[in-house]
Chain A
């Protein structure tokens, strides 16, 4: 559980952040470049000092200007994975990993972490001989081996290309699922956040714009200007219900409904986070019969918001909130308005493998109401 209430002036920029997050899981800190994300976690890590305020993690006060508490960063036990890795160039991978380990052998297990991150074959190399993705895995391992009570990750994938990102993401999912270490994940890439995070903290101009569960914040039209260039869409948590191998279909269940997607080799019962892009959703007034679209969800229009570019965002409550983007002409022709009954049509192939993120964090469920 992270409690932050700080003020810090940095030149013309003022960071004023106050929020609480539920315990455990991944908390994403989202915002555009310059929103103050890195400044904020530097305050958490003790690499910078707030002008005033209070910071506590799991009830332990790290900073409190009124009480005169300012714990030095080496005592805070917060692991920090930096955007650029920051491996020590004069040490081998093995010595980098061991740097923060406790001498008495208590704390994280070296072999376990090495295996989790699949870096066993890199141990005797120097940082210069590692690829970008390998460097970040070593950096993550180094931070974990210091047995942190909280892991701070500052855009750990920002400097990597798409292929390397796809290489690291599963490892971060494993951290979330196999280790109990809570994570604060800083990013301006909504794809990563939707895939990884449980709680979302949205920052803008040095302030906290919203805090809440990812699914909830992602379906709020008023936050659209802040979530930015990311492709709008509904974020749903679903369970794998079954496979139809012959017809190459996987069935996903959510809120009493079934979503059909192209076959994905994921065990039945596994929880997934998926994203249905708004532009992949069509609306119809009656359920069409002769159509290739497999997913047809009846529901009621909750909210309609005109966009500057002439397109219109429509949120449909079909048990879960489904987000459709249509033209203004379509809105007029169908007479769409809040309260109207419609059918949301979702192409099965619009949901690709990339938008499926594994969820296994059963220990988190039910905790979100703490906010």
Chain B
């Protein structure tokens, strides 16, 4: 990989790690929330829906600030995590993953919820009459049928996490090798004298990475659609 500079490799690797961790960590929550919103009615549902969508409309800096307040070592949650488990999130790559996950969460939930709502519940009822309990029905019928939506939500969230900037820099700052992801590295270079050429290279890498993610997801989605159409 001698066509990438050490700085670029570091930023790229960190970005991938942060994005993967954020998506992997939020996937089960995304599924659970999508299921709650699509299948359950409970008091305060629209409020929950609104709160989940907030990161789409609130300035990212605000989200980063709120995370810092809550998850910082003196914050209510962060302090408890640090005192009980010695875990520190603020100013680490884990914090960057949390910030990316929160920012990407609405996109993930939205795609999953739409696909869950389109799953034919009569098929689930049919599976129940065949002796399948709720868990088996979810794993063998619901989840496979909503798989395209799960994939779409995951890819969207992954792409969003790769590009996360505002909340990340506010929450975990700009620490080389720890929290300096691709967008933050690019931003740093634009602030540095003679950094234009290196910034341009990072911009190209970012574009290529996003493109690769989209092409890969399209390919998987096509294969999935073929399977779902029953031509396995």
Contacts and interface: CB of A to CB of B under 8 A. Distances in A.
A47 B229 contact: no
A332 B118 CA distance: 64
Contact of B129 (A80, A89, A91, A92): A80
Interface string A106-146: 00000000000000000001111100000000000011001
Given A73-B128, A78-B129, A89 B229 contact: yes
B145 interface: yes
Contacts of B231: 126, 128-129
Interface in B204-232: 227-232
Interface in B117-156: 122-123, 125-133, 140-141, 144-145
Contacts of B131: 74-75, 77, 100, 146
Question: Quick one: which of B127, B227, B230, B231 has the most chain A CB within 10 A?
Answer: B230
Nearest to A100: B130
A345 interface: no
A126 B230 CA distance: 4
Contacts of B229: 89, 126, 128
A127 B230 CA distance: 6
Chain B binding surface SS class: helix
A74 B125 CA distance: 9
A86 B132 contact: no
A254 interface: no
B130 A99 contact: yes
A80 B126 contact: yes
Nearest to B224: A90
Contacts of A74: 128-133
B21 to A, nearest CB: 30
Question: Quick one: which of A73, A90, A99, A126 has the most chain B CB within 10 A?
Answer: A90
Question: Quick one: which of B122, B129, B132, B232 has the most chain A CB within 10 A?
Answer: B129
A211 interface: no
Contacts of A126: 229-232
A181 B128 CA distance: 19
Interface residues of B, number: 21
Given A82-B122, A88-B123, A90-B144, A47 B228 contact: no
A3 B126 CA distance: 23
A89 B130 contact: no
A25 interface: no
A235 interface: no
A79 interface: yes
Given A82-B122, A88-B141, A99 B127 contact: yes
A308 B127 CA distance: 48
A127 B129 CA distance: 19
A6 B176 CA distance: 71
Nearest to A79: B129
Interface in A54-84: 72-80, 82, 84
Contact of A88 (B127, B128, B133): B127
Interface of B: 122-123, 125-133, 140-141, 144-145, 227-232
12 contacts: A46-B128, A72-B133, A76-B129, A80-B129, A89-B123, A89-B228, A92-B230, A99-B132, A99-B140, A126-B232, A143-B130, A146-B129
